[in-house]
Chains A and B, each alone.
Chain A
Amino acid sequence: MTVTDDRPSAVLGTRLLRREDPALLTGEAKYTNDLDLPGALHLAVLRSPYAHARIVSVDLSAAQASPGVVAVYSGADLAGEWASPMPSAWAVTADMKNPAHYPLASSKVCYVGDGVACVLATSDVAARDALELIDVRYEPLPAVVDLEDALSDRVVIHDELSTNSSYTWDLKIEGTEGQVEQAFADAAFTVKERYVQQRLIPMAMEPRAVAAVPQPFGGDMVLYSATQIPHILKVMTALTLGIPEHQMRVIAPSVGGGFGSKLDVYAEELLCVALARKHRVPVRWNEERGEGTVATTHGRGQIQHVELAADADGKLTAVRIRLLADMGGYQQLITAGIPILGAFLYAGVYDLPQAYDFSCTGVYTTLTPTDAYRGAGRPEATYAIERAMDALADQMGIDPMDLRKRNFIRKEQFPYTAFTGLVYDSGDHLAAAEMAAEMADYDGTRARQKAQNVPGAKKLLGIGQASYFEMCGLAPSRVLASLNYSAGGWEAATVRILPTNKVQVVTGTAPHGQGHETAWSMIVADKLGIAPGDVDVLHSDTALAPLGLDTYGSRSLPVGGVAIAIACDKVIDKAKKIAAHQLEANEDDLDFTGGAFTVKGSPDRTMPLAAIAFEAFTAHNLPDGLEPNLEAQVTYDPPNFSWPFGTHICTVEVDTETGQVDVLQYVAVDDCGVQVNPLIVEGQVHGGVIQGLAQALYEEAAYDTDGNLKNASLAEYLVPAASDVPPITLGHTVTPSPTNQLGVKGIGEAGTIGAAPAVINAVVDALSGLGVTDVPMPASPHNVWKAIQAATNNSQGASK
């Protein structure tokens, strides 16, 4: 199925420059915070300095008297505004414990950053100055920072739950009882590893921003927000505030990145709407960077126990996974479901018999809530299996590449029904791995490594690999039902040909950096035989695009893009009826190519779409019973997930004296099926790889034992800059997805999924001669140095 032609047509597959970029690069793009809203009041939120404390009293009087202040509220003051607690859309188990969570706390705070009071003032500065005058008395309680400590219930955070465990979700395959235990008993090799997925701070370039604007009379409300999910936000805001849904409109102006952190319904969004409703004036809020480090959701935060069983040839025979997942102080929109999104991927790209035992326990801590972060559950899963595969290869004394090749699902096994019952659409892991190996000069590097990594060498070479499967294109609605998710996974599209043959596309996807306007215009241009520049893409406004399920989980192209293609087909079908009528031909005798209908065999009997568009508009001469205008609306529910895959190979040199890791080369071979625009694909992979590399080497939300975030600024939370990024060499194979007409799969998260395990495998590979078997993330110089010290002390201890 692998095809070599990655330029399926004249438009699709070309490197068209992104139409979004001129406005973004020149600063002309309008973000939420750029909106001019005369008379708007500014909201500022007072945040708890304690990770865990009872609120004894809140004195607002001094703040109320501060210049420019219009109103000050405590959590208790606003209790009457909420029709329900903040939404949590994913009760992963029927008995999941989920405490009621309100936009402002009134009796207890559960993390540093938890909102306790708010100020409305005539300027942002006046509002923030007044925060300092609010006097809150707290009774501090012990913080719960460590996941295993949380599980012990030494300190119970939510009294009403009487435990910190929220849920335990198991994936057991019916009819295979005892098989896992048997496989472990029979195994020639087993590995048992423990990995920590440190918490990460998403750090979108644009911090969050909100503006709620009440409309004159009647109670309509427009909510502007830097969000990835205008549609979901509309429903959730309406429900939480008791506003009739048809009176809520949500607009996401230009949005500067999200990485999952803007896939949420936040306290500040609800507060702005509630206070705009109460005061009948626009209310706006914008997040400061430091504030965002505690007030916006974090990603990852898991402890993973991974066990693999293999036969004498290294063929995997069973996988057992136990996860502890950090919910943080409360659940946000889909907090509980994030680790479950990875549940199906802990066997990676390998041909595993039905011997899989997965269990995840979600626990509360007194830290910022976690939620989706680029890859959401799937990078964690890939990390665990790919690190454990290296551990297995090490134990067997074989090359990790060789071990992977013995276990890959083979090309001819696709479509492949996995042990979970999920069907992997298409793939060729061996081809991707071999291509990556060749690009990285895998064998040559191994030879150089042998020469370089001699006893006493101060600079050690390491090479690491990760092969991944990404489950994306979220999602078939029925599968989501089986996971207890409270929405579907479809996407909507409208394609409308205007009288002058220009096209409007209305999409339910909500781009925030991905380039949908460019990509969707290419799909339409290809379908209709027009120029991409003649296509306008409307999105991210629930009045213009009322139907949609937004952008996350690498879903926009394989679900939303496919919906657009289908809508184009419908429009063409209708146009064909008009063409047949006017050309006095049979519909079946018409070809549609190059933007024109032509009677087969009679090239002179032809009618361009432009002419049909105008005929459809004037409606002077349409077939009987046909409605005027060319427009089609489609809601597409994907029949399956899509399964992009690939292999990443990273080469590092580790300075054993300082612990510094230098990435010498990074090769990523990704297969996202058919590429609509390779330029956008490459951009997504570059960004994703850097984000994965950041987890591997730089980033970690570091807390002290009192639950204070120690690196709450960009000076201390180390997002790598351009100067820190190694050369990244990209390759791709193209294995179309057979489940959609475009053959597309999705690419938004792939880079992040492959990078962290490839980098850490390389670091551990470099140090393996010293006896190092694992290095925690981030593999900072200090952490690497400590791992070397520990291994060296161990081996000295052993030799004594």
Chain B
Amino acid sequence: MIPAAFDYVRAGSAAEAISLIGQHGDEAKFLAGGHSLLPLMKLRLAAPSVLVDIGRVSDLSYIKDAGDHIAIGALTRHMDVETSAVLQEHVPLLAHAAGHVGDPQVRHRGTIGGSIAHADPASDLPATTLALGATYIAQGPNGTREIAAADFYQGFLESALAADEMLTEIRVPKMQGAGWSFQKFNRRAQDWAIVGVAAWRRNGDSGVALVNMGSTPILATSVSGALAQGASVSDAAQLAAEEAEPQSDLNASPEYRVHLAKVLVRRALEAASA
């Protein structure tokens, strides 16, 4: 549980962080809350030679009402997302989901940007922002670009971010009173989901995303498609795993995961429709 040796530099701003990453090349990594990266380093599954600490880039910790969406700075901690009055009013699904990440210690350290950049299919916020149709803002040496959540997740722990790009902001559309539900199925309260579902529904529109049902967070487009065509909740829920490629682990076989996804999607949609 001792990481390999590494160098450490602290960045004061996004621009400085990006230039530091550029200087150090492929072997460098951003360090935000450290709650995904440090465990990997301790197990020596990751061994970056330089860490560029962005944890104190405080101007990237904010939650702002930007009209049709809420803009969240990448360094905003899970606890701030959970307790934000703005989010509770306009994007309650995200605030609620953030309250289910790990335990209080994790929520005080981990950042929404780190969670999304890490692109862990078992994490709660990638799937939740995917369900909500979020847009992520990436800043690199040549400026910023927007990446739709649906285009962001490319493989297990792989995102569309280039090595020298930093995620700076998450833009989440306001939910406009949509019904919603977050279903996290796990064995201990503090654990990652065995299967999770983030869902919202407003008239014919809906967004459903699955946690831990493949190598990336999964957008359950078949479910939304069926609902748009007037399918009942329980019929639509049968399509929950159409886009998924569930893996096997100690907690669940693929078959059980598919079953859970159907049950949890049905429950989520029932709650979102109530």
Where the two chains meet, the residues of A that have a C-beta atom closer than 8 Å to any C-beta of B are: 124-125, 128, 288-290, 657-658, 660, 698, 702, 710-711, 715-716, 718, 720-721, 723-724, 780-782, 785-786
Interface string of B177-207 (1 = CB under 8 A from A): 0000000010111110010000000000000
The interface centre, meaning the residue of B1, B191, B250, B251 with most chain A CB atoms within 10 A of its CB, is B250
The interface centre, meaning the residue of A658, A710, A718 with most chain B CB atoms within 10 A of its CB, is A658
A782 and B188 contact, CB distance less than 8 A: no
The interface centre, meaning the residue of B187, B191, B260, B263 with most chain A CB atoms within 10 A of its CB, is B187
A125 and B2 contact, CB distance less than 8 A: yes
B251 and A780 contact, CB distance less than 8 A: yes
- Nearest CB in chain A: distance from B65 CB, A: 33
Which residues of the partner chain B approach A711 to less than 8 Å between Cβ atoms? 250
- Nearest CB in chain A: distance from B274 CB, A: 17
Where the two chains meet, the residues of B that have a C-beta atom closer than 8 Å to any C-beta of A are: 1-2, 39, 43, 103, 185, 187-191, 194, 250-253, 256, 259-260, 263-264
Q: A124, A657, A782: which contacts B263 (Cβ < 8 A)?
A: A657
B256 and A724 contact, CB distance less than 8 A: no
B1 and A658 contact, CB distance less than 8 A: no
Which residues of the partner chain B approach A718 to less than 8 Å between Cβ atoms? 187-188, 191
Give the residue name and chain of the B residue nearest to A785 (CB).
Answer: B256
Which residues of the partner chain B approach A781 to less than 8 Å between Cβ atoms? 185, 187, 194, 251
A-B contact pairs, 17 of them (CB 8 A): A290-B1, A290-B43, A657-B263, A698-B187, A702-B250, A710-B250, A715-B191, A716-B250, A720-B188, A721-B189, A723-B190, A724-B188, A781-B187, A781-B251, A782-B252, A782-B253, A785-B259
Which residues of the partner chain B approach A658 to less than 8 Å between Cβ atoms? 185, 260, 263-264
Which residues of the partner chain B approach A715 to less than 8 Å between Cβ atoms? 39, 191
A781 to B257, CA, bound (A): 11
B1 and A289 contact, CB distance less than 8 A: yes
Which residues of the partner chain A approach B194 to less than 8 Å between Cβ atoms? 781
Which residues of the partner chain B approach A721 to less than 8 Å between Cβ atoms? 103, 188-190
A715 to B1, CA, bound (A): 13
A290 to B44, CA, bound (A): 13
A292 to B29, CA, bound (A): 31
- Nearest CB in chain A: distance from B2 CB, A: 5
Please give 19 more A-B residue pairs, beta carbons under 8 A apart, in addition to A290-B43, A658-B260, A721-B103. A124-B2, A128-B2, A698-B188, A702-B250, A711-B250, A716-B250, A718-B187, A718-B191, A720-B188, A721-B188, A723-B103, A723-B189, A781-B194, A781-B251, A782-B251, A782-B252, A782-B253, A782-B256, A785-B256
A128 to B39, CA, bound (A): 18
- Nearest CB in chain A: distance from B212 CB, A: 14
- Nearest CB in chain B: distance from A294 CB, A: 14
- Nearest CB in chain B: distance from A594 CB, A: 51
Shortest 10 CB-CB distances between A and B: which pairs?
A723-B189, A657-B263, A724-B188, A288-B1, A782-B256, A782-B252, A125-B2, A702-B250, A718-B187, A718-B188
Give the residue name and chain of the B residue nearest to A661 (CB).
Answer: B187
Give the residue name and chain of the B residue nearest to A724 (CB).
Answer: B188
Q: B1, B189, B253: which contacts A724 (Cβ < 8 A)?
A: B189
- Nearest CB in chain B: distance from A691 CB, A: 15
Which residues of the partner chain B approach A710 to less than 8 Å between Cβ atoms? 250
Which residues of the partner chain A approach B103 to less than 8 Å between Cβ atoms? 721, 723
Which residues of the partner chain A approach B2 to less than 8 Å between Cβ atoms? 124-125, 128
Given known A-B contacts A128-B2, A658-B263, A785-B259, A780 and B187 have beta carbons under 8 A apart: yes
A702 to B251, CA, bound (A): 11
A781 to B250, CA, bound (A): 11
- Nearest CB in chain A: distance from B183 CB, A: 10
Which residues of the partner chain B approach A780 to less than 8 Å between Cβ atoms? 187, 251
- Nearest CB in chain A: distance from B238 CB, A: 14
Give the residue name and chain of the A residue nearest to B260 (CB).
Answer: A658
A723 and B185 contact, CB distance less than 8 A: no
Give the residue name and chain of the B residue nearest to A713 (CB).
Answer: B43
- Nearest CB in chain B: distance from A312 CB, A: 43
A710 to B248, CA, bound (A): 13
Give the residue name and chain of the A residue nearest to B189 (CB).
Answer: A723
A121 to B6, CA, bound (A): 21
A710 to B253, CA, bound (A): 15
- Nearest CB in chain A: distance from B125 CB, A: 19
Which residues of the partner chain A approach B251 to less than 8 Å between Cβ atoms? 780-782
- Nearest CB in chain A: distance from B220 CB, A: 18
- Nearest CB in chain B: distance from A789 CB, A: 9
A718 to B191, CA, bound (A): 9
- Nearest CB in chain A: distance from B80 CB, A: 22
Which residues of the partner chain A approach B260 to less than 8 Å between Cβ atoms? 658
Which residues of the partner chain B approach A786 to less than 8 Å between Cβ atoms? 256
Give the residue name and chain of the B residue nearest to A722 (CB).
Answer: B189
A128 to B5, CA, bound (A): 13
- Nearest CB in chain B: distance from A506 CB, A: 38
- Nearest CB in chain A: distance from B58 CB, A: 30
Give the residue name and chain of the A residue nearest to B44 (CB).
Answer: A132
Which residues of the partner chain B approach A290 to less than 8 Å between Cβ atoms? 1, 43
Which residues of the partner chain A approach B1 to less than 8 Å between Cβ atoms? 288-290
A341 to B194, CA, bound (A): 38
Which residues of the partner chain B approach A702 to less than 8 Å between Cβ atoms? 250
- Nearest CB in chain A: distance from B114 CB, A: 18
Give the residue name and chain of the A residue nearest to B256 (CB).
Answer: A782
- Nearest CB in chain A: distance from B177 CB, A: 29
Which residues of the partner chain B approach A716 to less than 8 Å between Cβ atoms? 250
- Nearest CB in chain B: distance from A325 CB, A: 25
Which residues of the partner chain A approach B188 to less than 8 Å between Cβ atoms? 698, 718, 720-721, 723-724
Which residues of the partner chain A approach B189 to less than 8 Å between Cβ atoms? 721, 723-724
A716 to B187, CA, bound (A): 11
Which residues of the partner chain A approach B250 to less than 8 Å between Cβ atoms? 702, 710-711, 716
Give the residue name and chain of the B residue nearest to A786 (CB).
Answer: B256
Which residues of the partner chain A approach B253 to less than 8 Å between Cβ atoms? 782
A782 to B195, CA, bound (A): 12
